[in-house]
Structure 1
Amino acid sequence: MRVPEGAFRFVALDVETACSDAASICQIGIACVRADGGIESWVTLVDPQVRFSAFNVRLHGIGPEQVLGAPDFARAIAPLEPLLSRHLIIQHSSFDRRAIEGAYGVTGRAAPGWRWGDSVRIARRAWPEFIGNGGHGLGHLKEQLDLRFEHHDAGEDARAAAEVVLHAERRTGLGFEALLGPGRR
């Protein structure tokens, strides 16, 4: 599958991990949002080169057999770097950024200074009534916004995070930059 090309409004990114170590990325997914609201997705398995925990395998269904022959993190992220360096990256909570930074650290490289935003922050501004009433996790937003995706698949979760932002923009009449507000991270 080819990495989407071009200029996008933003790129949503999600990762799945092999174990409790955030750097143990075993899947990367992105969802690139075009000016017209269309979404181009891309996903790859990653060989984290660490042991998988039973909990994580049950959560996302990815184990050592699935990543056999997949690229390691350095090779998997390389084709994404030009795209991600040009766009604001939306994550759903701060986990994905921590995972990416941790995985870069394992390779001996410093993480790039990409611009990050959080769709949880956007959702809190668009749906304050969910605070203390189900929250702003993807599982609850899936129900409330009638999103259709397979949770705990990096490509699907990235697309869901992108759709949360688009729903929030429609609900509030504000663009994602305004919804993120100052101090985007």
Structure 2
Amino acid sequence: MAVPDAQALPTGPFRFIALDVETSCGDSGSICQIGLACVSNDNRIETWASYVDPEQRFAAFNVQLHGIGPDTVAGAPTFPEIWEFLRPFLSMHHLVQHSNFDRKAIAAACKVYCLPPPDLSWSDSVRIARQAWPEFKGHGGHGLGHLKTALGLEFTHHDAGEDARAAAQVVLKAENRLELCFEQIAETSRKAQMSFPL
């Protein structure tokens, strides 16, 4: 599997991009899949995903969780290859993660490969969900598993592309619930390199 062609990426502009990763073991830098959900100005969601060769071991727990193993990533790009491809695209947008794991995983993978620390604009859809549905605290919580049921989301959990799409859907539903736009609920003090009007 070669590094994806840049033409394969969704074409923007996008209001924000949700990002999710899966890892091969307990090392947060062992990214074996990365998924994006790109939200356009009319709230359409375009997803993109790629397997990544983590060049690390696959722990049985992780394989059971997401179904990705050594055979799945055979021939897939390594993280430096996929990051060189994605970084310019991601740096132009606000990113959404569901919890802080994905941001930490990207940073850890960059550190493993001695790449410059990523300078990206991140927001957390867990925090956004807490704003929109405070009543879920102590009653299922704000993880994707509970939000899937509570908000009627349809996605396959622990697939990076599907989880990214779910995080994007959480933000869109939160906008409707709070009657506020993403910029108002993003809880980030930093802006992407290029922002686009709603």
Q: Specify whether residues 134 and 183 from structure 1 end up closer, same or farther in structure 2 by C-alpha distance, changes over 3 A only.
A: farther
- Tell me how large the CA RMSD over aligned residues is: 1.2
Tell me the percent identity: 60
Aligned to 2:193: none
Aligned to 1:166: 172
Matched position secondary structure for 2:49: strand
Q: Specify whether residues 122 and 109 from structure 1 end up closer, same or farther in structure 2 by C-alpha distance, changes over 3 A only.
A: same
Identify unmatched segments of 5+ residues in structure 2.
191-198
Asked if residue 21 in structure 1 is aligned to residue 27 in structure 2, the reply is yes
Normalised by the length of structure 2, the TM-score is 0.90
Matched position secondary structure for 1:41: strand
Quote the Cα distance in structure 2 between the aligned partners of 1:127 and 1:119. Answer: 12
Deviating more after overlay: 170-179 vs 120-129: 170-179
Quote the Cα distance in structure 2 between the aligned partners of 1:69 and 1:24. Answer: 16
Query: Is this contact kept in 2: 1:101–1:110, CA < 8 A?
Result: no
Aligned to 1:115: 121
Asked if residue 81 in structure 1 is aligned to residue 87 in structure 2, the reply is yes
Asked if residue 47 in structure 1 is aligned to residue 53 in structure 2, the reply is yes
Query: Is this contact kept in 1: 2:122–2:188, CA < 8 A?
Result: no
Identify unmatched segments of 5+ residues in structure 1.
none
Aligned to 2:195: none
Q: Specify whether residues 182 and 104 from structure 1 end up closer, same or farther in structure 2 by C-alpha distance, changes over 3 A only.
A: closer
Q: How many residues align?
A: 184
Displaced runs of 4 or more, over 2 A = 180-184
**Could you give the per-residue CA deviations for residues 98-150 of structure 1, whole angstroms, max 9, x where no partner exists?**
00000011111122210000000000000000011100000000000110000
Task: Look up the equivalent residue of 1:102 and give its one-letter code.
Answer: A
Matched position secondary structure for 1:11: strand
Aligned to 2:196: none
Aligned to 2:194: none
Task: Look up the equivalent residue of 2:62 and give its one-letter code.
Answer: N
Normalised by the length of structure 1, the TM-score is 0.96
Quote the Cα distance in structure 2 between the aligned partners of 1:44 and 1:121. Answer: 27
Query: Is this contact kept in 2: 1:13–1:31, CA < 8 A?
Result: yes
Asked if residue 32 in structure 1 is aligned to residue 44 in structure 2, the reply is no
**Could you give the per-residue CA deviations for residues 68-118 of structure 1, whole angstroms, max 9, x where no partner exists?**
000000111222111110101000000000000000111111222100000
Quote the Cα distance in structure 1 between the aligned partners of 2:107 and 2:96. Answer: 15
Task: Look up the equivalent residue of 2:175 and give its one-letter code.
Answer: E
Task: Look up the equivalent residue of 2:17 and give its one-letter code.
Answer: V
